[in-house]
A and B are shown apart, each in its own frame.
Chain A
Amino acid sequence: MNARVLDRSLLYGAAIFLAIWVLVPFYLIAISAFTPQAKIFDYPKPLVPTSLSTDTMQFFVEARGVIPSVLNSLLVAVFTIIFGLTLGTPAGYALARFRFRGREAFQVIVLATKMFPIAILSIPLAVTFLQLGLYDNLVSVALVHTAMALPFIVLVTGGVFVAVSHELEEAAQTLGCSRWGAFLRVALPLALPGLAAAAIFTFVISWNEVFAATILTLRTRTLPAQVLASLATSPLAYKFAGGLFMVLPAIVFIFLIRKYLMNLWGSR
């Protein structure tokens, strides 16, 4: 019995230690971003802040280019979600519903794309977009983000449609629905929560993407591109507040889709 208690406490001890390792940087960036600007260079700093203020966050938000870059990031993410779900949902549905020749080959393509360094391709793409007059344009950033998110969208939507019973669709068809009608009225509403999760994960990919966004824009910066491009010249207060600003929505969204996390990297 004693061995069992020891075993349990070791287990929980290790689990809590690892949780602290993950959570501590979030705590530190949060207190850094809410430390008044005048106190950012205080040394040594206490681990429990003595004074908090929104001064530093305000400085960041009011800095030149920040608000437009947040709006740009949101727009790029929305475009990416629209492009990605439009292109990816049919493929996910096909993988879930049909056995066809080339199915395996398509899965290998999806897997290879998931691992492919697409961000690096933004260098040649920038030259192409320049020639097409699409350089420094949010749509072209969204296109690259779509290519990055597409394999994940196909996998998640595939998993979602597998979970939606095929028989319900067939029943709707025997009752007079067309194939398309059955999809629209039966499968799609049932798949909606899963599709929303795919959309949220797409948002996170796009909101976080740095390399392509920085290469493909000059004035129309997204938030990470704006922060990265000004790293060399910006004061610590700006970086800390910017860091917290980038992290917050991502945490909220990952909380919303925690049930679907396994479908993203895991199976297949």
Chain B
Amino acid sequence: MRARTEQFLPFALLLPSIGFLGLLIVIPMVQALLLAVMAEGGGFSLENFQRMFADVNFSDAWRNTLLLLILIVPLQIVLALCMALLINSRFRGHGFFLYVYAIPLAISDLAAGILWLAVFTERGYLNSTLQNAGVISQPILFLSFDNLGGILTAIVIAESWRATAIVLIILIAGLQLIPRDFFEAADLFGANRLRRTVHVVLPLLRPSLQSALIIRTIFAFQTFAVVFALAGRNMPVLAGEAYTWYATNRNEHVAAAYAVLLLGLTIVATVVYLRVLGLREAEVQR
């Protein structure tokens, strides 16, 4: 009898969390699909998707989201890799630097946007510093609606600044799994730091780099508050349009169509990465 309870105990312990996640993920996913394919008056129709695609902001939102993704994700990975390799060289005081680099982990995308607004706004600290240094004679309008390059730069910097910390933590954890002997063996064969990094560390770090890449890509599709804080509605992005259709236009059907699109993109991105990078299940679990 006792052995029997022992056997079922782990499942009983897992049940609450599985049940809860099922309830809060599977049901709304089905609901999102239903809302998206239902006409406002009832009945099945594709009109919500048609409205989404035909919307003036749609192609801009699509382009901006992809542009941000392409600019931000590689930058984050390179920056985080530099930080992680520095920390991993275990110099005196590396613990302090790890803590400093990890601080943005606790910052929301909204707060990060506002922090960088203090830098990029017309009378902000970037213009002030340039002016004080005599580089410019009047403030540059970085965040003006007709300065797409300026807005993009500000958002890329703010979002890279914030989410690099997440990539860093993933990479540091991956580096800790590499036995120290590997580094010592490379030393023995006279590999200098750069060659050791390229030939020994990076291949071993591949699983962590891959999961960082997938996680950051998925979350890049949801970029929203940092854009709103820096550019308002001057820079439409997909998640922002979903929010606007729901909260401002009060049309939950088109908003749901956006939600379905974003969920679809998430799934496609994950599958593509798994295929292209040849990720095996064993690696996903790391």
Instruction: Give, as a whole number of angstroms, the nearest-CB distance from B88 to chain A.
Output: 11
When the two chains form their complex, are residues A231 and B108 in contact, meaning their CB atoms are under 8 A apart? no
Query: What is the bound-complex CA distance between A116 and B286, given in angstroms?
Result: 17
- Interface stretch, picked from A162-170, A188-196, A257-265, is A257-265
A interface residues, Cβ below 8 angstroms from B: 8, 11-12, 14-15, 18-19, 21-23, 25-26, 28-29, 32, 40-47, 86-88, 90-91, 93-94, 97-98, 100, 102-104, 106-109, 111, 113-128, 143-144, 146-147, 150, 154, 204, 207-211, 214-215, 224, 227-229, 231-232, 236, 239-240, 242-243, 246-247, 250-251, 253-255, 258, 261-262, 264-268
Q: Give 5 closest A-B pairs by Cβ, nearest first.
A: A266-B173, A243-B114, A208-B108, A250-B106, A44-B128
B interface residues, Cβ below 8 angstroms from A: 7, 9-14, 16-18, 20-21, 24-25, 27-29, 31-32, 35, 79, 82-83, 86, 89, 91, 94, 97, 99-112, 114-119, 121, 123-125, 127-129, 131-132, 139, 161, 166, 169-170, 172-174, 176-177, 214-215, 218-219, 221-222, 224-225, 228-229, 232-233, 239, 242-243, 246-247, 252, 255-256, 258-259, 262-263, 266, 270, 281, 284-286
Query: What is the bound-complex CA distance between A242 and B215, given in angstroms?
Result: 28
Which residues of chain B are near A227, meaning CB under 8 Å?
110, 114
Which residues of chain A are near B214, meaning CB under 8 Å?
115
> What are 10 A-B interface contacts by the 8 Å CB criterion?
A22-B161, A43-B128, A43-B131, A111-B284, A121-B29, A123-B32, A123-B35, A123-B246, A146-B24, A150-B20
Q: In the complex, which of the residues A15, A98, A106, A251 has the most CB atoms of chain B within 10 Å of its own CB atom?
A: A15
Query: What is the bound-complex CA distance between A226 and B25, given in angstroms?
Result: 26
Extra inter-chain contacts (20) besides given A88-B17, A115-B270, CB under 8 Å: A11-B86, A11-B89, A11-B91, A25-B161, A40-B123, A43-B128, A44-B131, A117-B218, A117-B221, A117-B266, A120-B222, A123-B256, A125-B28, A211-B224, A228-B110, A232-B233, A239-B117, A243-B117, A251-B106, A255-B99
Which residues of chain B are near A117, meaning CB under 8 Å?
218-219, 221-222, 262-263, 266
When the two chains form their complex, are residues B121 and A127 in contact, meaning their CB atoms are under 8 A apart? no
Which residues of chain A are near B16, meaning CB under 8 Å?
86-87, 90-91
Which residues of chain A are near B104, meaning CB under 8 Å?
22
Which residues of chain A are near B18, meaning CB under 8 Å?
91, 106, 109
Which residues of chain A are near B215, meaning CB under 8 Å?
114-115
Q: In the complex, which of the residues B83, B115, B169, B232 has the most CB atoms of chain A within 10 Å of its own CB atom?
A: B115
Which residues of chain B are near A239, meaning CB under 8 Å?
114, 117, 229
Which residues of chain A are near B111, meaning CB under 8 Å?
208, 224, 243, 246-247, 250
When the two chains form their complex, are residues A90 and B103 in contact, meaning their CB atoms are under 8 A apart? no
Query: What is the bound-complex CA distance between A44 and B126, given in angstroms?
Result: 9
When the two chains form their complex, are residues B114 and A18 in contact, meaning their CB atoms are under 8 A apart? no
Query: What is the bound-complex CA distance between A90 and B131, given in angstroms?
Result: 58
Instruction: Give, as a whole number of angstroms, the nearest-CB distance from A137 to chain B.
Output: 15
Instruction: Give, as a whole number of angstroms, the nearest-CB distance from A5 to chain B.
Output: 13
When the two chains form their complex, are residues A147 and B83 in contact, meaning their CB atoms are under 8 A apart? no
Between A and B, how many residue pairs show CB distances below 8 Å?
A: 276
Which residues of chain B are near A109, meaning CB under 8 Å?
18, 21
When the two chains form their complex, are residues B31 and A120 in contact, meaning their CB atoms are under 8 A apart? no
Which residues of chain B are near A8, meaning CB under 8 Å?
91
A15-B91, A227-B110 known; A125 vs B31 contact (CB < 8 Å): yes
Which residues of chain B are near A93, meaning CB under 8 Å?
13
Query: What is the bound-complex CA distance between A23 and B94, given in angstroms?
Result: 16
When the two chains form their complex, are residues B35 and A224 in contact, meaning their CB atoms are under 8 A apart? no
Query: What is the bound-complex CA distance between A127 and B31, given in angstroms?
Result: 9
Instruction: Give, as a whole number of angstroms, the nearest-CB distance from B153 to chain A.
Output: 15
Instruction: Give, as a whole number of angstroms, the nearest-CB distance from A171 to chain B.
Output: 18
Which residues of chain A are near B284, meaning CB under 8 Å?
108, 111
| B86 (CB) vs chain A CBs: closest residue | A15
Instruction: Give, as a whole number of angstroms, the nearest-CB distance from B163 to chain A.
Output: 11
When the two chains form their complex, are residues A124 and B131 in contact, meaning their CB atoms are under 8 A apart? no
Which residues of chain A are near B116, meaning CB under 8 Å?
25
